[in-house]
Amino acid sequence: MAGELAISMRGVRKRFGSKCVLDGIDLDVHAGEIVGYVGPNGSGKSTTIKLLLGILPDFEGEIRVAGFDPRHAALEIKRRVGYVAENAVLYESLTIAEFLLFVGRVHGLDDATIERRAVACLESLELEQRVSSRISELSKGMRQKVLLTAALLHRPQVLLFDEPLSGLDVHSQMLVKEVLRQFAQAGRAVLFSSHVMDVVERLCTRIAILDGGQLVAHGTFDELTRTLRGGSLEGIFAAITGDGDAQERATRIVRAIES
Identify any residues that bridge with 218 across adjacent strands, giving them in sequence order.
208
Name all domains of the chain by residue range, CATH numbers in brackets: 5-258 (3.40.50.300)
Q: How far is CA 185 from CA 2, 124, 175, 179, 220, in A?
A: 8, 19, 15, 10, 17
Q: Compute the average pLDDT of residues 61-80.
A: 95
Q: What is the pLDDT of residues 209-231, one digit of tens each?
A: 998 899 988 998 888 888 776 66
Q: What is the pLDDT of residues 85-108, one digit of tens each?
A: 877 778 999 999 999 999 999 999
Q: How far is CA 117 from CA 13, 137, 143, in A?
A: 38, 23, 17
| pLDDT at 243 > cutoff 80 | no
Q: Which of 133, 132, 131 has the alpha carbon at shortest distance from 123?
A: 131
Q: What is the pLDDT of residues 130-162, one digit of tens each?
A: 999 999 999 988 999 999 999 999 999 999 998
Helices 140-152 & 96-106, crossing angle to 10 degrees?
30
The pLDDT assigned to 135 comes to 93
The pLDDT assigned to 1 comes to 47
Q: What is the pLDDT of residues 177-210, one digit of tens each?
A: 999 999 999 999 999 998 888 899 899 999 999 9
The pLDDT assigned to 247 comes to 63
Do residues 158 and 7 lie in contact, with contact meaning Cβ atoms separated by under 8 Å? Answer: yes
* Rounded Cα gap, residues 100 and 137, in angstroms: 16
Do residues 44 and 14 lie in contact, with contact meaning Cβ atoms separated by under 8 Å? Answer: yes
Q: Compute the average pLDDT of residues 38-56.
A: 91
